[in-house]
Amino acid sequence: MRSPSPSPEPLSASPGGGGSETGNVSRETTGHQPVEGDRLPSADWLLGLFLFACALVIYLATMCWAPAPGTPTQMLLLHLRLEPVPAALDPIWGWVIRCVDRLPGLSVAAWAGLVSAFCGASAVGGLGLIMCRVGFVPVYQTAPASLAREKQARQLSGLVSGLYLAGSVPFWLVATRSLPGSFHLLLLVLTTWSFSNFQRSGRIRHLSLLGLLYGLGMAEFATFLVFVPVALFLGLREMIRWGAWRSWKAWLVLGSGLLAGLALYPVHAREFFRYSAANAQFASAWQALAHILREQAQLITQAPYRNPIFVFIMVFALAIWLLLFVMSHRSPWFYEGDQIAVRLVFAGVLLFILLAVGLTWKIIGLSNLMLTPLLLMSASMGYLAGELWILGEIQILRDDSGAKRLLRRSCSTSAVLLPVVALVGGILNWRVVDGRHARIMEAAVEDVLAGLQGRDIVFSTGMLDDSLRLASWERRQPLRVITVNRLKSAPYLQHIAHWFEAETLREPLKQAKFSQFLDNLLLSDEGPARTAVIDMAEIFRDFGILAPDRFIYRLEPSTNRLALTALVESQRPFWNRMGRLAADPVPENNLICPYQDYLLLLASKVANNLALLQAKDGDETGALDTLRNAHRLYPDNLSVLLNLLELGRELQGPEPAQWQADWQARQLQPGVDRWALANRYGFVWNALSWARRGWIWVLSGDPIGVDAVRRSTTVPDPGLELQARLLEQIELHWGIPFPDESHHRAQLMKDDKNGPALLALARLALRRNAPETAEAYLQAAMNLGLSTEDAQLNQCMIAYVRGDRTAAVEGLRELVRIAPQDMRAWMALLLLTDERDPVNPTALSMLKSRSAPVLGQRLALAWFHLQHRQWPEAQAELDQALQLDARNAQAWELLATLAQIRGNHKLRMSCLRTLFNLNPNHPMKQVAEAFQLHQRGEVAAAEAVLHESLRGERHPDVLNALANLLMEAAGDSNLHEGLTLANEAVRLQPFHPLFRGTRAEWNLRAGQLEEAAQDLRLAAQMYPNQVQVQLLTARIDAARGNRSQACQLARKLVARRGEMSREQGSQLDQLLQSCDGND
């Protein structure tokens, strides 16, 4: 909307040179004395007032009294200083916004809209007045008829130019919204008016106002900067013509006014620097000033790149301006046929731009409205109308044929019809720019605020964010709206960090660690009760139960607080209101139409997901009723249609028949949204059944994950994690970042024949322990020509996940016979068989002998050697893995574990430092922090740190550390929790002797002596002389009745008491007392 464009000053320059009513002014006229015609006739002023009044009435009638979504609301937030960085541009408009915000009675959007409407109407009237000054030099200076015709042409020119500008889509848009565009154009018109005053009269006082306005314009609107050379040329030309260039007083007045206007730069820079101090963005006000100038320069230089149509509009506007106001020196009375034809072509293009009912500006885009070229085109349209009127004057001596007289009458008729055409264009454009429909968004914001039920944190995708922030700010309602699309911006995260007082929430945001902030918030006790989500149901399912309500999802910690019946009934009035909107929508071309469609789709999506909760709860009848409402709101919602067909499969009658007909029609409409059902339309009930019937893309509507799994108090099944790890190792992807489902679905949206993406989805489904879904994806990939090796390997993995290990191994044996070069198959045989199977050493040999530089293969082999306690071989594989990728966190973590097992403290600390550099939030860092707290005696704080770490990731080192800490802090009172933690740690890393020792201790306390002895035996193989192992051995022997062995070992340990902790020393004393008692 601030795109640079030609300066409007030449609008007041007559083709004859002076632009006065009677032709050129004598060059001998001084610059200090007015000439005849210094004032406009009253008729011209009446025309200007008429245009102003008409435009003001129209703009008020179509104004957005509610905050208009999109750029208008964004501009309000920017100038109200509610954004991380205040506005660097439009300083005067920003002061206007902040001033009207203090006025009572109306919202800031309404007051700003009124200011825009007044500025827009003033610009329309001002343009009409300026065009009344642009003269058409008559060929017969003394002919009264020619003089009268010329005066009529100027007034017609003013009328047409004003109507054209007032009725054009972009200017109508800015004049009815809270945008600065109409104010900027008014500033251009006022500057042009001042220049015209000096051009006509030569009065020095006009130079003062001209300098002031141009200086202010340079600081406010980048267009003024673009045309500084043009302004200097025109201004100097007129000063020379009037003789004012020799007057020091004239230069003093002009310079004083210009400097006064340019003083806006330092004033704005100082204020900009002051309000940017919170982000420490600038070191001084001079840096802030340099930033402002850079922003203006980028606005100018980047305009052609932001919009490819920009160059065409600029060239067209310049071409017609040059033709009419610079290059044309011939009187309209003497135009030849080619000159008339060129003008008719230009007039046709200008009328198309006006009458295309918003099409032209839809192509161009409303983010770059290019108002200044529009101003030039409006003036050109008015001037063309005046020329046509002059061409229509009958000339008896020249019109010697009927054809020429007919042409004269046609020109007159065309000139008279142009105002009518401009009015018709305005009527057609009314439906496009009518801002009264913005109340739809205002009502939506009210619905969101009502549905929050006291929540003060909203995560959203962006469409409603700005409107919500503005509404909550005006109501002084504390609401923190977090726009997910802006989370990659460090200044934005710094900005929202100030919204939170708790250090656990503020510090991660300051450090740009949003995932940690999200975990700290949503895994806390009060987090879900503060949180609502807009249009991101799938992302937040892991943190709680999502309660769909109108446009939002409220996050609940469990289903206990979810009353579905009451929730459904409370939304029926909302569905009825939105249904009326769907039945009677806003005009198709209206600028609010995309927002209306988004709201209807969002409401339909939320209702669809609510219906699935009802179906999951067993209420299929209620779910069908809710789905009918969702279908009524947005009939094109594909997920709703699929759910209606699936849940209504037993129904009979015209309604199911209509659903089936709609489904048949949708099958003939290929669309990229097929692979984005969950994100775009909502979840699908029983999506797998649709996939089995051949509609594989319906699986994109299947919700991934489990509700509230991150808040679950039950320990996750370690077997599933081990299975997922084994599958990753077989695919040679373990320890390497792998794209998730959304990435591969996005690939299928681009190409639904993408076999590798389908295969990747099959593998991800296996990792989620969904073999049926994986089989459906695999079958779809095979239909597209998947290779035999890939197909057989994945079929074997599906058999393994289903529990048929024997079938999986047999299939793999067959696969290595036909494809011995497939290292994945050999890796699968290595991991799925034991040492007694002859194929196991063969697989290891093949992997070693044909070992290609594949990182995943090295890591999987390292894990295999760790499981078999082959420490040197494991370290060799890890060394080679780090040579392939020195930043691989999995390799460093395994190497740190191996260093701990082998007692290499220096290597372990080096690995941990590298890990913490790669991932500052690594779980091992929490273990180190808990150890330090324990050393200071803050056992409760250390336990809290470890519990918090387990909420994010159940890392085996954290599990073992917490099990040891509970052993000391609570003794046997937490027997079940301690043993559960120890069991989970051993399952994740069964080769770790320290984990075995921890579980042996808990098994001993639980009275499970055989299990304790078995774990201890494995730990003793690695640490036979460790004091903790020997003491535990003595205690287990004593518990099993081997008193003599226990007492003999206990007495030997007396000499090593200094190596024991306080608790271990107490245990040794108890054992010795028992031995003395028996003696």
Q: Would the pLDDT of 14 be above 50?
A: no
Burial class (CB in 10 A: 0-12, 13-18, 19+), 791: middle
The answer to whether residues 534 and 551 touch, using CB atoms and an 8 Å cutoff, is yes
Looking only at the bridges linking them, the beta strands covering 480-483 and 545-549 are unpaired
The pLDDT, as a whole number, for residue 1033 is 87
Same fold flag, 719-850 and 921-1019: yes
Report in angstroms the alpha-carbon separations of 85 from 2, 78, 279, 438, 1054. 19, 8, 8, 27, 69
Q: What kind and span of H or E run contains 908?
A: helix 905-918
The pLDDT, as a whole number, for residue 319 is 76
Task: Tell me the residue length of the chain.
Answer: 1079
DSSP 804-832: -HHHHHHHHHHHHHH-TT-HHHHHHHHHH
Residue in 190, 122, 126, 189 with CA at minimum distance from that of residue 158: 126
Q: Which two tokens stand for residue 690?
A: 């649709």
Q: What kind and span of H or E run contains 481?
A: strand 480-483
Looking only at the bridges linking them, the beta strands covering 545-549 and 552-556 are antiparallel
The answer to whether residues 617 and 547 touch, using CB atoms and an 8 Å cutoff, is no
Average pLDDT score over residue span 185-207? 91
Residue in 378, 70, 55, 29 with CA at minimum distance from that of residue 238: 29
Band (pLDDT 50/70/90 cuts) for residue 7 is very low
Residue in 286, 302, 297 with CA at minimum distance from that of residue 222: 297
The pLDDT, as a whole number, for residue 560 is 63
Band (pLDDT 50/70/90 cuts) for residue 712 is confident
Average pLDDT score over residue span 1020-1034? 84
Q: Would the pLDDT of 21 be above 70?
A: no
CA–CA separation, 842 vs 853, rounded Å?
20
Q: How many Cβ atoms from other residues are within 10 Å of residue 529's Cβ?
A: 18
Q: How many Cβ atoms from other residues are within 10 Å of residue 729's Cβ?
A: 23
Band (pLDDT 50/70/90 cuts) for residue 2 is very low
CA–CA separation, 701 vs 688, rounded Å?
10
Band (pLDDT 50/70/90 cuts) for residue 35 is very low
Band (pLDDT 50/70/90 cuts) for residue 672 is low
Q: Would the pLDDT of 36 be above 50?
A: no
The pLDDT, as a whole number, for residue 278 is 64
The pLDDT, as a whole number, for residue 242 is 86
Q: Which CATH superfamily is domain 921-1019 in?
A: Tetratricopeptide repeat domain (1.25.40.10)
pLDDT tens by residue, 603-621: 999 999 999 999 999 999 9
Radius of gyration of the chain (CA): 40
First and final CA of the chain: distance in angstroms? 98
Q: H/E/C letters for each residue in 512-577? A: CCHHHHHHHHHCCCCCHHHEEECCCHHHHHHHCEEEEECCEEEEECCHHHCCHHHHHHHCHHHHHH
Band (pLDDT 50/70/90 cuts) for residue 357 is low
The answer to whether residues 1009 and 978 touch, using CB atoms and an 8 Å cutoff, is no
CA–CA separation, 63 vs 440, rounded Å?
14
Q: How many Cβ atoms from other residues are within 10 Å of residue 270's Cβ?
A: 15
Q: What kind and span of H or E run contains 343?
A: helix 337-355
CA–CA separation, 606 vs 682, rounded Å?
7
Q: Which two tokens stand for residue 336?
A: 């030849």
Instruction: Calculate ∠ Cα 797-799-802, nearest 5°.
Output: 110
Q: Would the pLDDT of 458 be above 60?
A: yes
Q: Would the pLDDT of 66 be above 80?
A: yes
Q: Give percent helix, percent strand, percent coil of the chain, each to the nearest 5.
A: 70, 0, 25
The larger pLDDT score, comparing residue 279 to residue 631, is at 631
The larger pLDDT score, comparing residue 415 to residue 1061, is at 415
Q: What kind and span of H or E run contains 250?
A: helix 248-262
> Which residues are registered as beta bridge partners of 457?
480, 531
The answer to whether residues 424 and 526 touch, using CB atoms and an 8 Å cutoff, is no
Report in angstroms the alpha-carbon separations of 370 from 22, 279, 361, 367, 607. 35, 33, 10, 9, 41
- The DSSP secondary-structure symbol of 356 reads S
Q: Domain coordinates of the chain in residue numbers?
A: 9-433, 440-631, 719-850, 921-1019, 1025-1079
Q: Would the pLDDT of 47 be above 90?
A: yes
Average pLDDT score over residue span 372-392? 87
pLDDT tens by residue, 415-442: 888 899 999 988 888 988 898 999 999 9
The pLDDT, as a whole number, for residue 138 is 56
Average pLDDT score over residue span 536-559? 87
The pLDDT, as a whole number, for residue 329 is 62
pLDDT tens by residue, 563-592: 889 999 999 999 999 999 999 999 888 889
CA–CA separation, 248 vs 245, rounded Å?
8
Q: Would the pLDDT of 682 be above 50?
A: yes
The answer to whether residues 428 and 587 touch, using CB atoms and an 8 Å cutoff, is no
Q: Which two tokens stand for residue 754?
A: 């993408």
Average pLDDT score over residue span 4-17? 34
- φ, ψ of residue 971 in degrees (nearest 5): 65, -135
Q: Would the pLDDT of 210 be above 90?
A: yes
Q: Would the pLDDT of 320 be above 80?
A: no
Band (pLDDT 50/70/90 cuts) for residue 33 is very low
Buried b (16+ CB within 10 A) or exposed e, 56-93: bebbbebbbbbbbbbbbbbbbbbbbeebbbbbbbbbbb
Q: Is domain 719-850 annotated with CATH 1.25.40.10? A: yes
Residue type, 463: M
The answer to whether residues 448 and 552 touch, using CB atoms and an 8 Å cutoff, is yes
Q: Would the pLDDT of 37 be above 70?
A: no
Lowest mean pLDDT across 19-28, 806-815, 857-866: 19-28
User: Of 251-255, 425-429, 846-850, which one has max mean pLDDT?
Assistant: 251-255
The pLDDT, as a whole number, for residue 27 is 28
User: Of 405-414, 436-445, 847-856, which one has max mean pLDDT?
Assistant: 436-445
Average pLDDT score over residue span 152-166? 93
pLDDT tens by residue, 879-931: 999 999 999 999 999 999 999 999 899 999 999 999 999 988 899 999 999 99
Lowest mean pLDDT across 298-312, 496-510, 827-841: 298-312
The pLDDT, as a whole number, for residue 1079 is 54
Band (pLDDT 50/70/90 cuts) for residue 757 is very high
Average confidence score pLDDT of the chain: 86
CA–CA separation, 163 vs 154, rounded Å?
14
Band (pLDDT 50/70/90 cuts) for residue 20 is very low
The pLDDT, as a whole number, for residue 608 is 96
